[in-house]
Amino acid sequence: MCLAEKPSIQIGNNDSIQNMALALFDLDNTLLGGDSDYLWGQFLIELGVVDAKIQERENQRFYDDYKNGTLDIDAFLAFQLAPLAQHPRALLDQWHQRFMAEKINAIMLDKSKQLIQRHRDAGDTLLIITATNRFVTGPIAEAFGIDLLIATEPEEINGEFSGAYSGTPCFREGKVTRINEWLSNNNHDLANSHFYSDSHNDLPLLQMVDHPVAVDADEQLTAHAQNSGWEIISLR
């Protein structure tokens, strides 16, 4: 069978998933039909709390770098986390409730929910691993019913955000570092593990798991998945 004819995972069929395996999910453009980082920036523009021209310009620049595999994660996080330091946490939390209702709920894909449920029914350990910061993504993971989240950690001082990050950013090789830390701390391993992602930036982690799955993937990841015989699916 040629690679192009390789069957995709059929949602709702539990036969290929073994109990107690780790099911890892990227979030933006994988489980979500959009990018929560970008949408948070757009939401802040609509609130009038960031400069629209600067936000749009820098968002596009960083997104282009991300697609090209040249993103400077430190520069991006300095830009993306700065607004968190400019407003009280209580107000940010209020804004996030609106953000979920106005931006996120509509892009929580039904097929993503079905896929998550399939792994849940099989008894697998569910974990979202994302470069987007925990403030933005924590409530989204909760809405998907997934308790375990590895994300970039915005630094907090006395309960307020500083605008910096702590630990290793959860991006590219940083995802490998962070999952290895989690595995060590939780006495888990990657035996029979799945990882679902849309981006070539996740190749370092995709290459570690037993069942890498390209989901509505970019051109680079699609080509790599085809050449490697990986599963290729769509949740759209």
Residues carrying an active site annotation: 26, 28
Evaluate the CA torsion angle 70, 76, 78, 81 in order and state its sign. negative
Cα–Cα nearest to 169, from 197, 150, 186: 150
Using an 8 Å Cβ cutoff, are 215 and 231 in contact?
Answer: no
Name the nearest CA neighbour of 134 among 80, 54, 64: 80
**Inter-CA distances, 145 with 19, 22, 67, 119, 126, Å:** 19, 15, 29, 12, 9
Q: Which two tokens stand for residue 43?
A: 């939401």
**Cα separation, 169 vs 60, whole angstroms:** 20
CB 24 within 8 A of CB 195: yes
